[in-house]
Copies of this chain bind each other. A is one copy, B any other.
Amino acid sequence: MLNKNVFLEKYFLMTRSEENYLKTIFHLGGGDSKSITTNAIAEQMETKPSSVTDMAKKLSEKGLVDYVRYQGISLTDAGVKTALSIIRKHRLWEVFLVEKLDFTWDEVHEVAEQLEHIKSEKLIDKIDELLDFPKYDPHGDPIPTKDGKFQERDEKLLSEMPINSKGICVGVKDSSVPFLKFLDKNKIALGNTITIMDKEDFDHSLRIRMEGKEMRISHQIASNLYVKKND
């Protein structure tokens, strides 16, 4: 009993802050044993580099990151596993909010940021089951499986597609509220089939056909939309 508690404490009792650091390091690429800089993490988390250093020591102590002073931070296997479990929870909750509670895709992230920290394996497995084991979240991001596997998709940025090619819109790179609202306003939704009609050399804008209608979209929009090749 005492032994079990020691075990739980060391390996499972993560604070919300620790979980957020692991998630951020993973998103910055630190899962591939690539070293992430203190400043990069601080900027992403809107905190100070000195706070990142403090946390690096703590996470290193717990065996979740590899950290050498001045040399940056990367996730250990245990760190990757933990990060993926948080990301899995985040994305499943986002699907839940959209599918079961009629949230819009620009409303879910903020709430999922809270829900991802709820500690109950049974809860998230049941949510997964209720949603019929979705593979992607409302923004097209893949949902890691229970054992931490990622199902990557063969996708490209719309801006990189050649003229006359077709693709199905499957995800957004920028999932900020303003961008998502812009897409809604212009009836650009995941699942839509898009044909690249023409590209403008001057500003790199695209003329596309989507759901029967033709429109022009800027390079900034096109470079934040993922499409799956479809010909």
| Interface set of A (CB-CB < 8 Å, partner B) | 97, 100-103, 107, 110-111, 114-115, 118-120, 122-123, 126-127, 130
Contact = CB atoms under 8 A, between A and B. Distances in A.
A122 B107 contact: yes
9 contacts: A100-B130, A101-B127, A103-B122, A107-B122, A111-B118, A111-B120, A111-B123, A114-B118, A118-B118
Nearest to A119: B114
Contact of A101 (B101, B111, B126): B126
A97 B123 contact: yes
| Copies of this subunit | 2
Contacts of A130: 100-101
A111 B97 CA distance: 18
Nearest to A114: B118
A172 to B, nearest CB: 22
A100 B122 CA distance: 13
Contacts of A97: 123
A102 B103 CA distance: 23
A74 to B, nearest CB: 30
B120 A118 contact: no
A107 B120 CA distance: 11
